[in-house]
Chains A and B, each alone.
Chain A
Amino acid sequence: MKLAQSPAFRVGLSISIATGLYGVSFGALSVTSGLDFWQTMALSLLLFSGGSQFAFIGVVAGGGSGVAAMSAATLLGMRNGIYGMQLNALLQPRGWRRFAAAHVTIDESTATSTGQTDPAEQRRGFWTAGLGIFVLWNLFTAVGALAGSALGDPKQWGLDGAAVAAFLGLLWPRLKGREPVAIAVVCALATVLAVPFVPAGVPILVAAFVAAVVGWFSHGRSDEGLEPDVDPYAEEHEAARRSGHSPGDAS
């Protein structure tokens, strides 16, 4: 099959553009939270996981310590280990490809791959989304970082409001159903209660602990909260929702 005719390749490309573009907001917010250009680029190049990167700068912006920022980012990165396990079973990469695959194992590359049924398409979807997002995310991070440092007073431009919106935007696609909403509300309350009593950054770790306890003792869906920031198959899922069928495979 020609690459251009592959549905996974096309989905992978469009998700790369949609996700890559919001690297602009990461870059701009990162430099206005106090990181310099190269620290911002190091996060996009080496850490490369949107949620964790936003978490790191979100803690730093709030006056939290480096340890708290690292802890929040690392706890949020746990789900990538689950994705890695799924993808390893699906794609079975060998040799050096395994180490490259691990680096581009994120929400969107996993969702693009697992949304396909044919093994060759799953492979194409994963690599197209993974490498495509990596290139564009870093490119647009650089653009955002340069623009952000040229802006002057970040508050005047509402960039603290942009950070609020970014986190709500990352949370939103994961609030499907009553249970995730309940978890979010409980963790939000735990955060508000903790803020006056512990150093900045620590309330986020308190909330993570509460969420882990909920996950340990409750018995909901085992893939709850493991939705991508941007759904590669949004159109198919929307059509399935309208017609009343459960979202099946997208191929």
Chain B
Amino acid sequence: MNEMSKIETTLKDWETDQEVRWCPGCGDYAILKAVQRTLPQLGADPKNTVFVSGIGCSSRFPYYMESYGFHTIHGRAPAFATGIKLANPDLDVWLVTGDGDGLSIGGNHMMHVLRRNVNMQIMLFNNEIYGLTKGQYSPTSREHTRTPSTPLGSVDHPANPCAFALGSGARFVGRGIDVSKNLPDVLTAAHAHQGAAFIEIFQNCIVYNKDVFDDFAKPKGAEQQQLWLSHGEPMLFGSEKTGGVKGLKLNTQAFAFEVVDVADGDWQAAGVQVHDATNRMLAHMLVELPFGEFPMPLGVIYDDPAPTYEAAVIAEKERASAGKDTSIARLLAKGQTWTVSGTASDPV
């Protein structure tokens, strides 16, 4: 995000006159509303806001946001967004991508925008499927996913978006669910972060991969399956009503997490780990937690800002320009020159 003057807007101000063309019931609707609800709370200014997307269902997003928008080409949105930020670092850039766009065709650009730490919010809608091309498996599809291109089930191992982001050097990694009421909080934290903020949003493709996240996203039983992280707070999940309060404890011998029961709310006695969003090693462990044995870590997993790329580029340009001669006439005449005097005659 950027420190721009905050202005007052409402959700309505962020809606365009364009008819939204996602399938009825698509998780994208919920994300769109969450973003349109969050931006007024941030005091964001539509004229300084740019939504940049690639190709895919998620990438139609800019057309529905009453701000500046650029619907680019498949997988390359991070490169366009980088150019935009270098040309005008005051713009507040949101990048919208999906698991295919951002991790398959555009995996390379995703890696570089993260390692360079270009200041923007990157929302990766992960539905574990290719929607717009009618249901082929994606790089995040689980093994044995049956699709038109994998009629016998997929055989390749899925990529883990948050682990990829961390591995690429991301300084902010967050996770949310399309319909979760907590999504705006994750978006807000991402926006507050100076640098590339990566947010994986589990998104339900109701046509080609319906309810694939139900194991943890379904409201019923969610408390036992979702670990909402908060910096400085213990890693607790579950409730008395849903089968007991539990927590994650770090087994320092095994250097691994384990699930422990918390009795009478005394998480300290149970040895539950307190979340430190600035701890990179902790973040690595959290994004690698196998779901099933552990709940799904959600919220702000990692948030530890570092200098941004565009600031470094601009500072370098200023340093290199300081006191330099900017006369183009002198530039053209640089190096060893010689003068010819007299009258021209040009025999060939």
Q: Do A and B bind each other?
A: no
